[in-house]
Amino acid sequence: MKETWRWFGPDDPVRLSHVRQAGASGVVTALHHLNDGRAWPVDEAARRKAEIEAAGLTWDVVESIIVHEDVKTRSGRYRELTDNYRQSIRAVAGAGVRTICYNFMAITDWTRTDLDAPMPHGGTALRFDIVDFCAYDVLVLKREGAESDHPPERVRAAERRLAAMSESELARLEQNLIGWVPAREFIFDRDSFRKALDGYRELSKEGLRANLLDFLKEIVPVAEECGVRLAIHPDDPAFPIFGLPRAVSLSEDARAIVEGVPSPANGLTLCTGSFGSNGANDLVGMARELAPHIHFAHLRNVTKEEDGSFHEAEHLGGDTDMVRVVAALMSEEWRRRESGRADWQIPMRPDHGHAIVDDIGKKVNPGYSCIGRLKGLAELRGITRTLETYGIPEDA
């Protein structure tokens, strides 16, 4: 597998020199300042490529070209914005990038209630606490219909939790849920978030999926023309939040996407952490079944709790059998290589990492500490090297 590393551009405290020291050879990045649906200029994509290559690395995956909310709802300027997206595909293809990771999550990107939850080893991790979320959704945001989306015992627990929160704790919870969204056009406050939710009030899961498939029908031909593979990222968490529809949460959703617009250019990002947040998903089974459609892998683990909460575990810890997932992906790589595909490698990155050692307390992009990801990459490399050397066991 091709070892890659997410880099948030020149302002990222984790520098390209650190990426090389971690042992990765590929970079996953974007033009993060172009986050409002405008087309990416060819010259800017070329400059970003040159910057990465000057550091001795390659730009392997774009993550992400933001899909504007008008496109998701098929409203407003969606035709213009879809055309911009096609132009952006051509721009990154011109820079030699052949994989684009994107998501179709309504309003939110990945969502956590706690960005630095203490772990037993002394470091911190990202966590989604369902009771904290309920407290904000029902009692603070006071979203219409929110109480019916949560069982009564959870609402009662949320009332007790909120009563015990200090003002600073509540402010931090709100900041984590709606006031911090990576690489977005703007940051919400409570009123603007409520208004954004109103835009999805009449859109069902089936409607959002239909809009996604319509969007793919409009951009996949350009991706085919340019030799680019599109890899949709799952919802995170992979279950409904804030009453919003979800289009990429379950294995059946992934199947519907690749079957709805059949093309080698239309595929998936296997994010084991995102899909793994929903106990209905069998990650090993998904990796095996959907392997021909997987163009990119985010490898991380989560530990789920009975009430629906979860935290991001160590890469080889948690609920997902990472060895068998990697074995399935490597089996697919070997199949592609034997079929004569030049692009047989699946780029993967250690997705997120704990804040450990002297990254604790440093200013980093949440989830994207250097040392935690370096540790995760080394552990994943141990799996791939072992399987390369000794082969994949029949029961894997």
Please say if 368 is a catalytic residue: yes
Catalytic, out of 233, 311, 315, 354:
233
Please say if 343 is a catalytic residue: no
Q: DSSP secondary-structure letter at 250?
A: S
Catalytic, out of 68, 150, 298, 315:
298
Q: What CA–CA distance (Å, rounded) separates 129 from 126?
A: 10
Strand partners for 127 = 114, 311
- Amino acid letter at 359? D
Q: 46, 45, 47, 62: which is closest to 7 by C-alpha?
A: 62
226: CB partners within 8 A, 6+ apart: 89, 90, 93
Sign of dihedral through CA atoms 248, 236, 30, 32? positive
Catalytic, out of 352, 354, 359, 370:
352
- Pairing type for strands 124-128 and 310-313 reads antiparallel
Q: Three-state SS across 102-152?
A: EECCCCCCCCCCEEEEECCCCCEEEEECHHHHHHHHHHHCCCCCCHHHCCH
Catalytic, out of 101, 134, 271, 370:
271
Catalytic, out of 102, 136, 200, 368:
368
User: Which long-range contacts link 69-75 to residues 24+ away (Cβ below 8 Å)?
Assistant: 69/106, 69/107, 69/196, 69/199, 70/37, 71/37, 71/211, 71/215, 72/104, 72/106, 72/208, 72/211, 72/212, 73/199, 73/200, 73/203, 73/211, 74/211, 74/214, 75/199
Please say if 121 is a catalytic residue: no
Q: What CA–CA distance (Å, rounded) separates 197 from 144?
A: 10
Q: Is 297 helix (H, G, I), strand (E, B) or coil?
A: strand
Q: What CA–CA distance (Å, rounded) separates 336 from 330?
A: 10
Q: 72, 21, 113: which is closest to 312 by C-alpha?
A: 113
Q: What CA–CA distance (Å, rounded) separates 377 from 328?
A: 18
Please say if 351 is a catalytic residue: yes
Q: What CA–CA distance (Å, rounded) separates 38 from 157?
A: 44
186: CB partners within 8 A, 6+ apart: 192
CA–CA–CA angle 231, 237, 239 (5° rounding): 100
Catalytic, out of 12, 114, 137, 351:
351
Point out the residues that are catalytic: 233, 271, 298, 351-352, 368
